[in-house]
Structure 1
Amino acid sequence: MRFQHFGLETLVSLIFLATHVYAKPDSNDINAGCPTPPKFESIKVVELGLPPVSPSNAVGACSSSINPHRSGCIDQTSQTNSGNFLPDGNHIVATLNFVGAPAAPDPASIYSGLHLVIIRTNGTTFKNGDSWKCITCGVPASQMNGTTALDVYPQAFRDGHRVLVGNNIVDGHAALETDACTPNSTWIYPIRWNVAANGTGAGGSIRELRIHPDNVHLGFNAFTAVGESSFFSRLSFNPKPTIGDPISARYDLDNVTMFFNSGNSPEYVISGKNLSINPYAINVGEFRGFSKTGKEAYYIGPTFESDNIDMTAIDLTTGETRRITQYPGYIDPIDASFDDQWQVILDTRFTNRTDFMDGMRHVPPLNDIIAVGAAASIRNNGARRYFQPWLLNRNGDCGTYYGQRINAEGDGSNGAVNDPNWNGMADPRWSWDDTKISYWQTLVVSPACGGSNPLPCPMSTAQGGRTSRIMLATLTNRKPIFSPQAAEASDVVPWGTPYTPGMTLPSSSPLPAGNYTLHGKSSGYASVQLIENAAKTGLSTVVANYYNYSDDGRNVLNGYENVTAGALTTTTEKLDWYSNLTSHGDTYSTKVTGPGGFHFTIDLFTNIFDANGTLTTTVDGVAYKQPYNFA
């Protein structure tokens, strides 16, 4: 069963997902105290209404015949970014790209460009008959000095009148859904992270911003000289700055702490000739958000099993970490319910996208030392993403429990809520009363379809051929809860590293080349060879030979794996891979390359996959093969 084919196999798999969710058990957790899996819930999924699609981007194309309310049209192919709910639970925030507006001084000329909107979720409309209201359309230029694009990750504050969007905070100075919120009452303020010792300049480049539930602190990521680093900070409104650009009202990031612990035992530890692995080491890779109590941060960090990208949580005070997901695949977006007992995730699980390399369980993450970036990038096929929304309880994957797919109901037909051609995007969000979940999707478009890979492009059934949609999932049997305001977090992250503007950021030391032994926690060992690259700037090759290796006493691993990684460009990697692994125990699995090995290149940002040779993982007779090359 391979999701690159959208025919009978897809329908069969969708029927399977609607009735089964448990497979590929993680034997580390079986009989190890996992709670009884929760029963599946009744979930109703609908698509929310959006402004009509303009027939073109030409001035005036959004005519009164297209939108009689003269309240704007959107672009057919631009992405829609949806976010969380307003506190009233009846609206979500989103960003839309308005096009085709008439020229000024026509009042409808304000509906042009990227804007923040709110969208009704209860089936009612605003006074003008629309189910949406544009918040930033028509805001005077003097009220948005120094701002950047209102594009990604819109997140409403609990006060109901502020929204974080892109690297800005929009403040309507009134509840956004009310008539008191107008363009003239609305201000847009940039967010600035000072990175200069003297406080000058435009500030550092930040991304992946997430509001802490106390509505006072902010987490973010940044590309730095040491790679991607993550940070915790306090949002401070600065009405009249005197230094640093822009010299206009803005939010400054104060008391910044890097999610890094220099005294922490690293993931890979070498002692003499012995190598050990500790995936619970504090190593926050990419920050992804907070639990709703505000006590934990979510992140993508060390891998627990080879080539399997999972979500980890870390306590902001103690530094204690816990693994949330285990199923083979890739997870990225996550949001916790307000009672902190559930999570909604977007994951590639059950799509078989990455199982050819991570379907064999309990393989130590050794080749991940050099290949984890490439392994993570296979999750997408260019513009086609394999994310679907899943409901997990707080314990996450445990034993044979791997959650409930939120949009499993449907026949998989074109435009259905479970149409596999509609792919999940970041971020899914819970309503404040824990009864609803919003998420958004995009339809696969050329060049990720229409050629030999994977099949012809689908026709959009959305209004105007729109290729983005916003979905609302209602957990119909849940009763609304009251979610209290999270306690204000401390500015101090005890295990973190305080950031001082201008400082050189700390980083982990690279592993030294050499020959080592990794002992199984239960039995056997692996002989490991770490080989330096020709420039002597880091490791390029990991060779591992396993001899009756077992960490859990039930699954035993034998064979070898040899992986070499090299950079072709700053974003493109090439891997040469040779495997012949066998695992017996709870499953009988093999991971084998073809006679000439497996060789692939992939761009870490565009996810263009190009391979020669084969790598196949077989689990209890089911073979998982590599994806098709991007064509």
Structure 2
Amino acid sequence: MALVLALVGCSNSGDDAPNAPASAAAGGVPAPPEPEPVEVSELPLPPVAPSEDPGACTKELNPRGTGCVGRDASMQSGGFLPDGTSVTAVVTFVGAPAAPDPGSGYTGRQLIVVKTDGTTFPNGDAWKCVTCGVPDQNAAGRNEPMDYPQPFNDGKRVLVGTNIVDCGTHPIADAACTPDQTHVYPIRWQNTPDDSGKGGNLRELRIHPDDVHLGFNSFTLTGGKLGQFAYLGRLSFNPAPTTGESRGPRYDVVDVTRLFDPEDTQPVEVDPANPGQLRVNPGALAVGELRGFSKDGKEVTYIGSPTESSNIDVFAADLTTGEVRRLTAHPEYVDPIDLSPDGDWTVAMDTRGSDRQMFLAAMRGIPPVTDLITTSVTSSTRNNGQRRFFQPILIDRYGDCGDYSGQRLNASGDGGPGAVNDPNWNGMADPKWSPDGTAVVYWQRLALPPACGGANPLPCEESTEPGGRGVRMMIAKLTSREPAPAPKVAPISDEVPWGVKYVPGTPPPDRPHPPAGTYTLPGAKGGTATVEITYTEDGFAIGTIAVTYDGFTDDGTYVIDGTEKVSARNPSLTVTTVDWFSDLTGTGGGVTATKKTSPDGFHLTIDVMTNIFDATGTLTTTINGKEYKQPANGT
């Protein structure tokens, strides 16, 4: 099926972020919005226990006996309930008294609901634990993952990890939603022909706005390398399963479609009309990791293959037509996002402003050829272990454009310890819009050792939160906005025309790459890139890509010359090592850019699961005299 990129905004033009070549925005794109007023405040959480020892959560700390969290206990904020005045979160309770004390149920990772309007629940708490004390028989087969808490639009159910918390006829936030009325149902995906076993691996689940369909990702292992595909399926309640594990009531994911077709157009491929040439198709449906859906239910959002080399962005694709929109284009890294109820805005957790990724991606307009083997590496440098460099960024529908690169929601403050813009407090996943589009909730974690202190040049900071808590949940209110709620969404079709129906038991497909050989990649407006692709000795994967640019230009103004060569190998399942040699220049349109490695090259080994930077040699990008250098090892 032929697909084209929807050129509806600057993010799709490729000339749309700091240090990009200057050019006009795509036709019909309005002027970027002016910054708008934002009020940021913190939402309440349970009190902090001094330790995880049983009974450490005393009546003095919590007179109501409704639990405590730890100083460094993990949490994750989620989405708003339909009432617009409460938001879901997952916290880890510690220090509960032993049974039969009524407070003994406030232990472990649990779903809570937090008030956002300054009111309280009937017991006087500004938060309510939904899953604490749920009887075992109401949670038979409950799965361990408890993350990404997302309410259904009916307000009576919440997707949490690979479970659905269901309060029957009662809204989750209502006083009538008590533990005995609450059920926790596991979610299962059939992955064997006879429907035996525990089911397929599900991760990063996202509920579709129709309350019926579910998007998710699943890891693959191919040729000793970790990969993943994204899927869309329909949730079907199964009250009495006769196959698979477990046999208690559960939700089955049925009519599953893999959001990928190996026979379809690929991001970088051999031109079928010219076998000696490559072509780059920015409209290819290269769904990497599914991130969610538009509020009208028509689009799926995802991290896709780069449009520009080393620049990781988020895209949206129409589930019916396959039309693709590039939502972000800044050279920094973006991952967690949420589209506004009216569809006109994106809130993104992005590293922009930190310069974390600029040594790799600041030089714009380089076609994503070496990215065939470097994407896992370039995306993994965004973090320093548990320290992220994300901040919440508000971006209009037309995306990064010229000097416009969105508005940081928490820009106000003095930057000192505990301030809303304290750089030691980093955004996590996922930011979420309120139902009326007038507020965004997000959560942050304070940098802790070894991501600060000791050998790390970033000094550690003492938490100013109650009890020294190292996590916090924030709300950014867009005070000048009028409510603009999302439309009610009818159930969508199970069919995704550009996807492929999943057949249980079939192996995942390979992501196609151009065969080994030497190719020409023509610039859209002139010049060429000569690309040499060499496979590994076993012939299974690309091992080296070498590119020579000669007057390469896609816009007729900005011209790239020079060479780049990258080799990649995988010492283990999640570890990638690259040997990178770059000597590139870009000139024109008021921009002078270089991307250069040291004479001995840049050599990086990084684990995609831990994100600890460990390199020898240097890779430096310079834009109009400003140098962007790589992070120090271990930072």
TM over 0.5: yes
Give the match for residue 616 of structure 1.
Answer: 620
**Residue number in structure 2 paired with 1:83:** 78
Q: Secondary structure at the match of 1:376?
A: helix
Residue aligning to 1:386: 389
1:290-309 superposed matches below 5 A: 290-309=293-312
**Quick one: which amino acid aligns to residue 592 of structure 1?**
K
Partner of 2:213: 217
Amino acid at match of 1:403: G
Q: Write the deviation string for residues 424-452 of structure 1: whole angstroms up to 9, x where unpaired.
A: 11110001111110001111111111123
Distance 1:272 1:484 in 2: 47
What does 1:440-459 align with in structure 2 at a 5 Å threshold? 440-459=443-462
Deviations along 1:452-475, one digit per CA (max 9) or x if unpaired, are 323221111111111111001100
Whole-Å separation in 2 of the counterparts to 1:328 and 1:22: 7
Aligned pair 1:152/2:156, yes or no? Answer: no
Amino acid corresponding to residue 595 of structure 2 in structure 1: K
Q: Structure 2 CA distance, aligned partners of 1:24 and 1:559? A: 19
Match status 1:46 vs 2:46: no
CA shift, 1:31, in A, is 6.1
The equivalences for 1:426-465 within 5 A come to 426-465=429-468
Structure 1 residues 9-20: aligned runs within 5 Å: none
The Cα of 1:324 is off from its aligned counterpart by: 1.1
- 3-state SS of paired residue (2:89): strand
Equivalence for 2:632: 628
Letter in 2 for 1:630: G
List aligned pairs for 1:590-601, cutoff 5 A.
590-601=594-605
TM-superposed deviation, 1:24: 2.7
1:538, 1:83 → 2: CA distance? 39
Q: Which residue of 2 aligns with 1:16?
A: none
Query: How far does the alpha carbon of each residue in 1:395-435 deviate from its partner, in whole angstroms, 9 at most, with x for none?
Result: 22233321111111111111111111111111100011111
Q: How does 1:226-265 map to 2 (within 5 A)?
A: 226=222, 227-265=227-265
Q: Tell me which amino acid in the other structure corresponds to 2:36.
A: E
Q: Which amino acid aligns with 2:136?
A: A
Cα pair 2:269 2:513 within 8 Å, conserved:
no
How far 1:480 moved relative to its partner? Answer: 1.9
Give 2:538's aligned residue.
Answer: 535
Per the alignment, residue 70 of structure 1 pairs with 65
1:563 and 1:446 map into 2 onto residues whose CA distance is 33
**RMSD in angstroms over aligned alpha carbons?**
1.4
> In the alignment, which residue of structure 1 is the partner of 2:172?
176
Paired positions, count? 611
- Contact 1:540 1:564 (8 Å CA) reproduced: yes
Partner Cα separation in structure 1 for residue 375 and residue 426 of structure 2: 23
Task: State the 1:28 CA deviation.
Answer: 6.0
Mean CA deviation greater in 587-596 or 136-145:
587-596
What amino acid does structure 2 have at the position aligned with 1:246? S
Q: Give the whole-Å Cα distance in 1 for the aligned partners of 2:20 and 2:322.
A: 28
CA contact (8 A) 1:284 1:301 kept: yes
**Counterpart Cα distance in 1 of 2:508 and 2:578:** 29
How high is the sequence identity, in percent, across the aligned residues? Answer: 51
SS, match of residue 282 in structure 2: coil
- Decide whether the 8 Å contact of 2:387 with 2:426 is kept in 1: yes
TM-score, length basis structure 1: 0.95
- Find the partner of 2:323 among 320, 327, 331: 320
Secondary structure of the equivalent of 1:580? strand
Q: Are the equivalent residues in 1 in contact too, given 2:277–2:519 (CA < 8 A)?
A: yes
Corresponding residue for residue 10 of structure 1:
none
Q: Where does residue 5 of structure 1 map in the other structure?
A: none
Matches for 1:469-484 after TM superposition, within 5 Å: 469-484=472-487
- Amino acid aligned to 1:500: V
CA distance in structure 1 between the partners assigned to 2:20 and 2:535 by the alignment: 36
Whether the 8 Å CA contact 2:153–2:211 is kept in 1: the answer is yes
Q: Residues of 2 paired with 1:26 and 1:202: CA distance?
A: 52
Amino acid at match of 2:377: A
What are the within-5 Å matches in structure 2 for residues 215-614 of structure 1? 215-226=211-222, 227-270=227-270, 271-586=274-589, 587-614=591-618
**Conserved? CA contact 2:157–2:167, under 8 Å:** yes
Amino acid at match of 1:211: I
Q: In the aligned structure 1, how far is the partner of 2:514 from the partner of 2:51?
A: 55
- Structure 1 letter corresponding to 2:286: N
Q: 2: CA distance between counterparts of 1:93 and 1:250?
A: 22
Using the TM superposition, give the Cα deviation of residue 273 of structure 1 relative to its aligned residue in structure 2, in angstroms. 1.7
Partner residue in 2 for 1:17: none
1:182-197 correspondence runs (5 A): 182-197=178-193
Question: What SS is found at the alignment partner of 2:564?
Answer: strand
Question: Mapping of 1:82-101 within 5 angstroms?
Answer: 82-101=77-96
The aligned amino acid for 2:310 is: D
Q: Is residue 17–residue 329 contact of structure 2 (8 Å, CA) maintained in 1?
A: no
One-letter code of the match for 2:215?
G
- Listed one character per residue, the Cα deviations across residues 100-154 of structure 1 (whole Å, up to 9, x for unaligned) are 0000001111111111000010011122221100001100000001111252100
Q: Once the two structures are superposed, what CA deviation does each residue of 1:222-268 show, in whole Å capped at 9, x if it has no partner?
A: 01245201100001111111111110110010110010123312122
Q: Distance in 1 between the 2:30 and 2:623 partners?
A: 26
Is the Cα contact below 8 Å between 2:551 and 2:560 reproduced in 1? Answer: yes
Structure 1 SS opposite 2:349:
strand
CA distance in structure 1 between the aligned counterparts of 2:503 and 2:196, rounded to whole angstroms: 14
Separation in structure 1 between the aligned mates of residue 341 and residue 21 of structure 2, nearest angstrom: 28
Is 1:125 the counterpart of 2:123 in the alignment?
Answer: no
**Distance in 2 between residues matched to 1:340 and 1:482, nearest whole Å:** 10
Question: In the alignment, residue 115 of structure 1 is paired with which amino acid?
Answer: Q
Match of 1:166 in 2: 161
Q: Which runs of 5+ in 1 are unaligned?
A: 1-20
Residues 610 and 113 (structure 1 numbering): CA distance in 2 closer, same or farther, change over 3 Å?
A: same
| Structure 1 residue 32: Cα displacement | 4.7
Q: What is residue 15 of structure 1 aligned with on the other side?
A: none
1:200 alignment counterpart: 196
Shift of 1:37: 0.7
2:256 is paired with a residue whose SS is strand
2:67 touches 2:94 (CA, 8 Å); kept in 1?
yes
Q: Please give the per-residue CA displacement for 1:160-189, whole angstroms capped at 9, x wherever unaligned.
A: 110000100001221122211100000000
Q: Distance in 2 between matches of 1:509 and 1:29?
A: 35
CA contact (8 A) 1:45 1:474 kept: yes
The amino acid across from 1:113 in the alignment is G
How far does residue 394 in structure 1 lie from its aligned partner after superposition? Answer: 1.6
Structure-2 change in CA distance of 1:527 and 1:48 (3 Å): same
Q: Is residue 30–residue 400 contact of structure 1 (8 Å, CA) maintained in 2?
A: no
Unaligned ranges ≥5, structure 2? 1-15
Q: Deviations over 1:251-295 (max 9, x none)?
A: 010110010123312122224221111122112111111011111
Letter in 1 for 2:220: T
SS of aligned partner of 2:287 = coil
Q: Which sits farther off after the overlay, 390-399 or 35-44?
A: 390-399
